[in-house]
Amino acid sequence: MGRLARKIRLILMPILFFVAIIILWEFAVDTFNIQSFVLPKPSAIGAILVRKSDMYVTHTIVTLREALGGLAIGTMAGIGAAVGIFSFKPLRETLYPILISLNTLPKSAVAPLLILWFGAGTFATLLVVVLITFFPILINTLAGLGAVEPELIELASSLKATRTQIISKIRLPASLPYFFAGFKVALTLSFIGAVIGEYVGSDMGLGYLTIISLAQLNTEQIFGTLVILASMGLAFYGLVEFLDRRVIHWRAK
């Protein structure tokens, strides 16, 4: 019963706090007579989400496709690069420092170059997402591959296990906690990358809709896109957290 009560409290507390913020926000706008183009009321934001639901759905599908597609590619590339860099010392000594230096580049500065090279549209935005999600997966998976106890590797080697078997049967499963930690970061960044790509060069998506709304001083519409982005990020983060607890069941307490 105590564990159930704790779970209910953990769910209810953020909800109640969020509701309190919304109520205070609603009354503050009226009390201080804040103009809607500066800070719209939550009720106005909800109204425009309902009134323009078709428009939001169309742009959301585009952003969602770009974010999840780029995340999938970035994840596969990050895992593959991590295994390759860990397994082959020449790659670790030459390629890894270069990748780390590339990670320091602001992705918002790289995005215009990708648009210039590949043209505006979905493909360039997808590349932005891949670039921004690749490094958290790479760095965390690489750390996980090297976090196995040396005694376990020695035992496997004494049993004539090959390098491939050690990586696939021991190191990769042991790196799962690190991978999921990186994947949660990459998931959040995937939506940021999609919006950045749409800011720079796109005619669809929530990022594009934000730019158009800003030019029209339609603050309510901008907040609508923020609500959708936050909701998607929270929903997918919760899904990954659920998978994390199921896959790494020994850590789910």
For residue range 75-86, list pLDDT tens digits in order. Answer: 999 999 999 999
Please state the pTM of the whole predicted model. Answer: 0.88
Q: What are the pLDDT digits (tens) for 201-213?
A: 788 999 999 999 9
- Whole-number percent of the chain with pLDDT over 90: 53
In CATH, which superfamily holds the domain spanning 54-248? MetI-like (1.10.3720.10)
**59 and 174 in contact (C-beta within 8 Å)?**
no
Q: Which residues lie below 8 Å from residue 140, measured CB to CB, with a gap of 6+?
A: 178, 179, 181, 182, 183, 185
- Spans of all domains in the chain: 54-248
> Is the model's pLDDT at 168 over the cut of 90?
no
CA distance 53 to 45: 12
Q: Does position 51 have pLDDT exceeding 60, yes or no? A: yes
Q: Give the model's confidence band at 60: pLDDT under 50 very low, under 70 low, under 90 confident, else very high.
A: very high
pLDDT of residue 250: 63
CB atoms within 10 A of CB 23: 11
